Amino acid sequence: MTEHTLTVAGVAVDTRHWIGGRRVASTETFTDVSPIDGSTIGEISRGTALEAAAAVAAAKAAFPAWAATSRAERARILHAVADGVEKRIEDLSIVETTDNGALLRSHRRGVMPRVAHNFRFFADWLLKLEHEDFETRGHTNHVSWDPAGPSVLITPWNAPLMLATWKVAPALAAGNTVVLKPAEWSPLTASLLADIAAEAGLPAGVLNVVQGYGSEIGDALTSHPDVRRISFTGSVPTARRIAESAAGNLTPLSLELGGKSPLLVFADADLDLAVDLAVEQYDNAGQVCLAATRFLVEESVAEEFTRRFVEKAATLTQGDPRHETTDIGPNIHPRQLEKIDAFVQRALAAGARAVVGGHRKDTQYYAPTLLTDVAQDSEIVQEEVFGPVLTLQTFSTEEEAVRLANDTRFGLAATLATADAERAERVTAQLVAGTVWVNCFFVRDLQAPFGGSRHSGVGREGGTWSFDFYCDLKNTVTAPNGWKNHG
């Protein structure tokens, strides 16, 4: 081991940046802390504008060759990256659980296999990406997807590697080169991804990883004139700063932002199913942008729904995310815990009632919480908490349910529980949301468009929509019978 290597649960992780196919250390570091117990994991290279410029330069230098690489070869390398991920699922799982506090069993069984799937899906989609030629007054139109150039990808801490590779995989498949900037609260698996990609044969400079604070390195990345695409997942305030930074170069943006999604429960719904869907919103300690944090329940079943929810929530086990029996782990950082508790205490002071929880358990864990007696215009109903905090309101008519559901500045997702197919069709048609689930939750397919409306985001990714973003679309129009016969 070297001074730049950490051992995390027996796994070696390099703490330096990955730029141009080699490790690069910064003169300064930042401290990475485990949310499980607040212990220090280690010191991580803290990037500045210097490392940002170097990473973009490396991506720019590598772009022509990677863009010219055949689709088949790019797909082969992405499948090799997926192979490398699958070989290291256990390493990636334990490192990410240590780093961000999400359940180890979820990482092993779902999250890390999904990371590999991200690479395989976009590798395969690349090979079938096409638009049928069409004619205009005898002229042939041919649509093509041209690689756009160096892409800056800024990713969040709640599902670090899965959400990073949801951007990295299509960007690389499209023929772009990448500068990945992971969240400073969970940087470790991005470093491991750099190792895996290099071992898979990804050429130097095609993937670069830089670590650090957004305030110190972010603007240097997003304002760089050589950057051709920026994709960001995170908060609305940060998205505004990124948009301002990118505006000078008119750099195209994809923004996946916050949510305040509703769960609508109608009286005809299967209440056991509805309660299961509701309790599922505590997943990842409530740190899920898509979570249906606002329960809207028809008045006639609200009391029974609440009773069953309280009983079901009481069966959840909160504790060390490395234990197989744990259902809810810690929140990512003491600062986030303070933010969550401040939301709850302000709501209680304003008259809300805590049916479940309503308090922190210690410096790392917040008790799963359900608040009732909340006003539609209250902060707790309107603003994203990003913790295990849910609210419950009632409605008496379908029209009222839709009005309450749409009455926030967000529009990321919505979930609907009903036994009436016609009602489901009517209501979903009126909901402002990028994704709507009916009698289910969190069923995700990479073929589908994903993104939010209103302040929940700009653009869509997934399937061909990802390539539409990461590429410059070109239409070539050819005249008929315009060729000379050279014999």
Long-range own/partner contacts, residues 103-108 (CB < 8 A, 24 or more apart): 103/284, 103/321, 103/326, 103/327, 103/329, 104/321, 104/322, 104/323, 104/324, 105/324, 105/326, 106/284
Long-range own/partner contacts, residues 220-223 (CB < 8 A, 24 or more apart): 220/48, 220/49, 220/52, 220/53, 221/52, 221/55, 221/56, 221/152, 221/154, 221/179, 221/181, 222/152, 222/154, 222/246, 222/251, 223/248, 223/249
Helix H or strand E segment including 178: strand 178-181
175-to-77, 165, 448 alpha-carbon distances in Å: 12, 15, 21
User: Which residue do the tokens 């410096």 mark?
Assistant: 363
CA angle 415, 418, 420 (to 5 degrees): 130
Distance CA(172)–CA(147), nearest Å, equals 9
Distance CA(134)–CA(385), nearest Å, equals 49
Distance CA(34)–CA(395), nearest Å, equals 42
Is residue 462 classed as helix, strand or coil in its secondary structure? coil
Nearest to 371, CA basis, from 335, 396, 343, 397: 343
User: Which positions are catalytic?
Assistant: 256, 289
Helix H or strand E segment including 390: strand 389-395
56-to-51, 182, 205 alpha-carbon distances in Å: 9, 15, 9
